[in-house]
Structure 1
Amino acid sequence: MKKVGYFKTWMLYNKQVFTNKSSPMKKHLILILSSLFLLSINLVSCSKSESNDSRPIVDNGSISITANKTSILADGKDEITFTVKDNNSKDITTESKIYVNGEAISGNTYTSKTKGEFTVKAVNLNRETSIKILVRHYTAKLYISSNRTSSFSSGSEQFEFKALDTKLNNVTSDTKFYVDDQLIDGHTFSSSTNGKHKVRAEYSEIKSADLLVGVNMSPRNVLVEDYTATWCGYCPESMYHLEELKSKTSANMVISAIHGSDEFQYSKIESLFSTFNITGYPTKIANRNIAQAINENDLISLVDESCHIGIKSTIQLDGNNAKIDVTLESYQTFTDIKLVVALCDNNQLADQSNYYNDEASSAFYKAGEKMKDFQHNYILRKTLTDLYGDAIPNDKLIQGTSYKLSFTTDVSKYNKAHLSAIAFLFKNGEVINVLSVDNL
């Protein structure tokens, strides 16, 4: 019965009571009981009204969405992770739906091969919010190297090739190698045919630049020292173009990144600044010849030169020590040669200033004025010889002979899994050959 029905019944009953001839006391008692009855009806009706209300209770508070990074590379592998929280900071990611440029994604992670600015929207019940992320320019690169620049013509000495992807991950086992345009089995090669041999590689549809090696002679590798710093906003663009040359023009380039006034500072950088009259960052020097320009044509012309002294090198880890062996192979007699052996570090993450954030033509467009966790490679850590070279005895560089040297150094402070060693030969104020081997 509805509340109004109870009320009508009560009114009719009281009318009858008060029109009948009843004693005053009886009328008073009936009035009290009727009032209590009406009160109980009201309580019951209120209770029923509350229990019959099935409308959902909606939290109208705001929600937020954040990402673990502001940008990713357009390589289809670099992943960004989103988190959704309510206004009480409770994680509601699994209860929310996430859209990227209007398309729902599965879960809360995202990758892309298309560069540009994307809108990421989170929806939870009737609440939504959005942020912007950037998918940055990405050029797939393949770097190849060899454990030696040359070999004698006996055919008993092997070249061992290695392939690294854009992020310097070792992809040798999945890479095809070609020598003089002929596919070889695996990644080793030997020959008794004198002269230069052209090596190239293919990995996941990515092609490397050519690497020249020699039998009974040595092609000339080129050392490029890049003076850089994490606070230098021009520096990442400079290194990007160096890596473009190395991956597309000639694999015979060896890069050394010499940092100043940052967390990767090389301890003897002031001496290099003074010797080579360096006044700012970035500065690039080829073969320690301050007048040498760095461009595609100059690089090709330098590599095309023949060198009559070759280098073979290995790097091995033993606990906190690294052992670096360097073998010099003379194809003619040399005098007054100096050897520099240095240790470099790779895959180090640190924030990097970026002055190209607003330049659409840059590889670092919209990557942020301060790029977080930027990957730094080729970092010069220490030299195991004199900075300007240890003299090699002239009687060790006779035509047709080889001379081996070994160096051991403590590497406990460094990223041991990503070390590389550089060995280069110095004569008359210029680098005449260089080789880099790594532990990647």
Structure 2
Amino acid sequence: MKRFILLFAFISALLSSCSSDYTILKSVGSVILKPDSSVKLIDGTITFTVSSVTNNESEDITQEAVIYIDGEPITGNTFSSATVGTFEAKAIYAGLESDPVVLTFHDGTEINFEKRVLIEDYTGTWCGYCPRVAHAIELLKEETDNAVAVAIHRPTSNEASLNYDPYNYDASELEALLSTVGYPKGYLNRMTLWQSPEPNNLSQAVGLTQGLNPKLGIAITSVVEETTINLDVNVKFGKDFTGSGIKLVVYVLENGLIYDQVNYTSYYGGDHIVHGFEHNHVLRECLTPLLGEAVTGDMTIANTFTKSFNVPVPANVENAANLEFVAFVTDADGNALNVRSNHPGEDQVFEEL
């Protein structure tokens, strides 16, 4: 009996020691480090959040992760610099590292703008694997407010076809520039393929909202009156873009469109047909050429280019109250430099940092 008591005490002490000396970490698929801004004035404070993505679910792990600046751990989740310069930040949790983030502190002599990422989702109501990208966009919007989505429905308006889509938009001119055939496919900033499976590669998209500043900002003013759209798209330059070959693209989108979605994925309940699926950010019309319209005028630092539109609401729009406008500027190679979305009645200012 005495031996049994001693053995029980030893096991109890061992278990107590384990519970106090060790922390069991949650299973993690990937780690994402997000600063509230990657560009700040000197003496400004950058606040970080860290999240983990596991089994397509995101969880805030800021308090458990360790954040490093130029390889040195910091205390807490904020960082400031009293001098002009760039710094590399990363987070580590459970042995996994986030993608690095480049931080810039400036003295106010530069013009910098909020940086957003464009996602063009080539999709279809008939496409069973397309809900994968739609779900990834939903997850991405939980990670960052700086993602702008456009759903480009393909491939045919022929009602007799098995691939009929009532929202089909002929983007063949644009798709001809891309290297990926078939659907689904998501492209970031127009020319960069979002690696599949997209829900597991959120950090690729988040990373494009950070780092090197685009030096170009967009502000949109919109008014929809009965059957007419009045739109002003303003582009401000933070450096000299003269001779750069930049172009403007302006989309008209519609949200809240209800139509059954074929589904071969486990998302949205895993049903083969998702009845009453809500399709958002659906491309209805492009107000410029699909590959962009040349930006002209004085494109030196601090100057602004304005393009105004007075056009009828597209005939295919079901509800003008659900309109959305997206404007972005591409470089000479077609890559989107910056993008912004706008809803009817919104009068935006430039997002200068």
Q: In which range does the TM-score fall when normalised by the shorter chain?
A: 0.5 to 0.7
How many angstroms apart in 1 are the aligned matches of 2:226 and 2:118?
30
Structure 1: gaps spanning 5 or more residues: 1-149, 151-180, 182-193, 195-213, 357-361
Question: Which whole-Å deviations, capped at 9, do the CAs of 1:378-422 have from their partners, x for residues lacking one?
Answer: 1011110111111111x3212112222111222143120000111
Question: Which whole-Å deviations, capped at 9, do the CAs of 1:274-301 have from their partners, x for residues lacking one?
Answer: 2213411110011122455462222232
Task: Name the amino acid aligned to 1:276.
Answer: L
How many angstroms apart in 2 are the aligned matches of 1:410 and 1:275?
30
Residue pair 1:237, 1:364 contacting (<8 A) in 2 also: no
Select which of 401, 423, 432 maps to 2:303: 401
Deviation at 1:307, TM superposition (A): 1.4
Distance change >3 Å, CA 323–CA 339, structure 1 → 2: same
Deviation at 1:232, TM superposition (A): 0.8
User: What pairs with 1:252-267 in structure 2 (closer than 5 Å)?
Assistant: 252-260=146-154, 261=156, 262-266=165-169
2:175 maps to which residue? Answer: 273
Task: Name the amino acid aligned to 1:432.
Answer: L
Matched, 1:321 2:228: yes
How many angstroms apart in 2 are the aligned matches of 1:278 and 1:439?
34
The TM-score normalised by the length of structure 2 is 0.59
Matched, 1:439 2:333: no
Select which of 231, 234, 239 maps to 1:332: 239
Task: Name the amino acid aligned to 1:256.
Answer: V
Select which of 207, 210, 213 maps to 1:306: 213
Task: Select the structure with the greater relative contact order (CA < 8 A; seq sep ≥ 6).
Answer: 2
Distance change >3 Å, CA 322–CA 302, structure 1 → 2: same
User: What pairs with 1:196-275 in structure 2 (closer than 5 Å)?
Assistant: 216-248=111-143, 250-260=144-154, 261=156, 262-266=165-169, 268-275=170-177
Task: Name the amino acid aligned to 1:306.
Answer: N
How many angstroms apart in 1 are the aligned matches of 2:202 and 2:127?
24
1:390 maps to which residue? Answer: 293
Aligned residues: 223
Select which of 337, 343, 359 maps to 2:252: 343
How many angstroms apart in 1 are the aligned matches of 2:137 and 2:255?
16
Query: Higher helix fraction: Structure 1 or Structure 2?
Result: 1
Select which of 257, 264, 267 maps to 1:355: 264
Question: Which whole-Å deviations, capped at 9, do the CAs of 1:28-56 have from their partners, x for residues lacking one?
Answer: xxxxxxxxxxxxxxxxxxxxxxxxxxxxx
Task: Name the amino acid aligned to 1:346.
Answer: N
1:377 maps to which residue? Answer: 280
How many angstroms apart in 2 are the aligned matches of 1:259 and 1:380?
7
The TM-score normalised by the length of structure 1 is 0.47
How many angstroms apart in 1 are the aligned matches of 2:316 and 2:133?
27
Distance change >3 Å, CA 256–CA 291, structure 1 → 2: closer
Select which of 325, 328, 353 maps to 1:424: 328
Distance change >3 Å, CA 370–CA 291, structure 1 → 2: closer
State which structure, 1 or 2, has the greater radius of gyration over its C-alpha atoms. 1
Residue pair 1:338, 1:389 contacting (<8 A) in 2 also: yes
Task: Name the amino acid aligned to 1:374.
Answer: F
Structure 2: gaps spanning 5 or more residues: 1-38, 40-76, 78-83, 85-105, 157-164, 346-353
Any idea what SS the aligned residue of 1:373 has?
A: coil
1:74 maps to which residue? Answer: none
How many angstroms apart in 2 are the aligned matches of 1:401 and 1:271?
32
Any idea what SS the aligned residue of 1:417 has?
A: helix
RMSD: 2.6
